[in-house]
Structure 1
Amino acid sequence: MGKYGHWTAHGRLFDIGGTTRHSIARLIKGENVKFSGNIFEEDNGNGSLMRTLPLAFYLKDEENIEKLYQKVKEVSSITHGHFRSVFACFVYVIFAIELIKGKSKAEAYHHTQKTALELKEIQGFNPKEIQLFDRILKDDISKFPEDSISSGGYVVHSLEASLWCFLNSENYSEAVLKAVNLGEDTDTTGAITGGIAGIYYGFENIPKDWVDMLARKKDIEKLCEKLEEKLNNSNERKT
């Protein structure tokens, strides 16, 4: 995508995060995916968080949270290998899995907090890093005022913003519009919020005119069908 514009809306790449761009450059040169992602503190943009949601469907039956975390880490680290980005993706995937299982918003959020803090104890993660997630894991992010929610490209802010918008909405369009209206990195915040909102409210709750206006709608539908097919095949092998 970074080199040829594949999967861009109109065949032309107009924006890409620096961390993602550097990682793709390494992959093009033949670097192993295990070592392609940036690992420094300044490399904690939201690039891996915005693409990690499909993992929730693959990992929804994984009961070992350490194995689940490792899978999330492997996928995030293709572009974003710092702990902060990986852990944000883990929290997001756990929350999405609980929604897939039919939990209410409150139940899913409470279980996510419990699971993430449990993993922290098992793994002995750096307390200073975990503290950055206190507003999500120890407080209730939905109770914070809107003017305290940031929606730029920083991964922790993106996770906070998406959870805040979702937990404070009653339908898909309200959640996504809240995300976009926060400003700053609007497309990414909208995508991260829309992912969990889509799981919870269902495809039929997405406004039809929004779907009809999608660029490359047919290509996206085909990609969704391929994902569904792979998930079905994976489930069949497990049974």
Structure 2
Amino acid sequence: MRTTFIHSAIFGLVVGDALGVPVEFKIRDFLKRFPVTDMLAYGVHHQPLGTWSDDSSLTFCLAESLCNGYNLNDISQKFLQWFNAEIWTPHGKVFDIGIATAEAIKMVAHGADPVLCGGASEMDNGNGSLMRILPLLFYLREENDLKVIFQRVKEVSSITHAHFRSVFACFIYVVYGLELIKEKDKKEAYFNMQFKLKNFVADHDFEQREIDLFQRVLINDISTVPENEIYSSGYVLHSLEASLWCILTTGTYEATVLKAINLGDDTDTTGAITGGLAGLIYGFESISEKWLNAIVKKNEIEELCEKMNRIYEKAEI
């Protein structure tokens, strides 16, 4: 199999997800005593080895939709098909889904405009759009206008999460990912992302209170924050900070995803969000063959990556 950055990112995400599924909701103190060092079977959700969660399912839905171009109705309908267990489930049923995502997809089912389905209140800032936003990198890889990138990210996030905080967290993640594709050096890409987004924010009338929440990521260096001040709940800002912190404080794919998962709490999502970026940085070949071979529906995921690569072949590295 010829691998590209699409394979690296997608498999990086799904492996991180599958590593985290068995210990989801385990607290950090527990994982300090009993750290995850390898892929496990069963555990919290009682799922077989290599099972991935809604994080990967919705990522696959978005990726598959983007193979046919950018269409919000098609993306949302793919989410609905997954919700109904028609596509992209590991074992034929949905076993893990966030409340906000479920409510939004129910609105899709009732025919609502996709961008009006996601919750827009301050309480609607779980990590359910950040966990699946990665495939937009493939679609936006040659787009240099941050206004266009922000608008696309906003639309895709808003299918399930429409509050500015969720949208902006996804925007930071996507811009950083695009920098990784260009620069490959994770620290340089991080500082490039900060520089570009500071200028972008300066040119827009965003609510300052919201922008201030991202100070540790955008103004400071998140890698200098001590571990006891990094949180790994399902809150979108925590997930963004934790993933970038893990990326910038480790040196291999394996070390990065295991560090993310052993933070505890929302382990599958932190693992997925972090794993997608780590895959981009270290490449497909850096991911344990043992872990890759354990992934449920590995062949179907490979076919999806190859299909995307045929469409976005200029993105090869």
Task: Answer whether TM exceeds 0.5 for this pair.
Answer: yes
Query: Which of the pair has the greater relative contact order for Cα pairs under 8 Å at 6+ separation?
Result: 2
Determine whether 1:63 maps to 2:140.
Answer: no
Question: Which has the higher mean CA deviation after the structures are superposed, 194-203 or 49-58?
Answer: 49-58
Partner of 2:72: none
What letter corresponds to residue 126 of structure 1 in structure 2? Answer: E
1:13 alignment partner in structure 2: 94
- One-letter amino acid of the structure 1 residue matched with residue 274 of structure 2: T
Aligned residues: 234
Structure 2 unaligned spans of 5+:
1-81
Supply the distance in 2 between the matched residues of 1:33 and 1:226 (Cα, whole angstroms).
25
**Alignment partners' CA distance in 1, 2:193 and 2:127:** 19
Aligned match of 1:180: 261
Counterpart for residue 120 of structure 2: 39
Q: Compute the displacement of 1:33 (Å).
A: 1.2
Letter in 1 for 2:100: T
Summarize the alignment of residues 1-239 of structure 1 with structure 2, pairs less than 5 Å apart: 1-4=82-85, 6-232=87-313
Following TM superposition, by how much is the alpha carbon of 1:117 offset from its aligned partner in structure 2, in angstroms?
A: 1.5
CA distance in 1, matches of 2:282, 2:97: 30
1:151 touches 1:182 (CA, 8 Å); kept in 2?
Answer: yes
Give the C-alpha shift of residue 64 in structure 1.
1.2
1:143-188 deviation line (CA, Å, top 9, x unaligned): 1111111001000000000000011111101000000000000000
Identity of aligned residues (%): 52
SS of 1:115's equivalent in the other structure is helix
Equivalent-residue separation in structure 1 for 2:113 and 2:310 (angstroms): 27
What RMSD in Å do the two structures reach over aligned CA positions? 1.3
- Per the TM alignment, residue 61 of structure 1 is displaced from its structure 2 partner at its CA by 1.7
Alpha-carbon offset, residue 103 of structure 1: 3.6
Cα distance, 1:5 vs structure 2: 5.7
TM-score by length of 2: 0.72
SS of the residue aligned with 2:111?
A: coil
Q: CA deviation at 1:49?
A: 0.4
> Which deviates more from structure 2 when the two are superposed, residues 155-164 or residues 58-67?
58-67
7-16 or 209-218, which deviates more: 7-16
* In structure 1, distance between residues paired with 2:275 and 2:250: 12
Q: CA deviation at 1:27?
A: 0.8
Query: Alignment partner of 1:31: what SS?
Result: coil
For structure 1, the residue ranges without an aligned partner over 5 or more in a row are: none
Amino acid aligned to 1:136 = V
State the Cα deviation string for residues 88-137 of structure 1 (Å, max 9, x = none). 00000000001111341121111111122211111111000001101111
Instruction: State the Cα distance separating 1:138 from its structure 2 match.
Output: 0.9
SS in 1 for 2:238: helix
Q: What's the secondary structure of 2:153's corresponding residue?
A: helix
Counterpart of 2:271, as a letter, is G
Instruction: Indicate if the aligned counterparts of 1:5 and 1:13 stay in contact, CA closer than 8 A.
Output: no
For residues 66 and 30 of structure 1, the distance between their equivalents in structure 2, rounded to whole angstroms, comes to 28
CA-to-aligned-CA distance 1:34-68 (integer Å, 9 cap, x gap): 21111111110111101111111221221211111
Aligned-residue offset at 1:223? 1.4
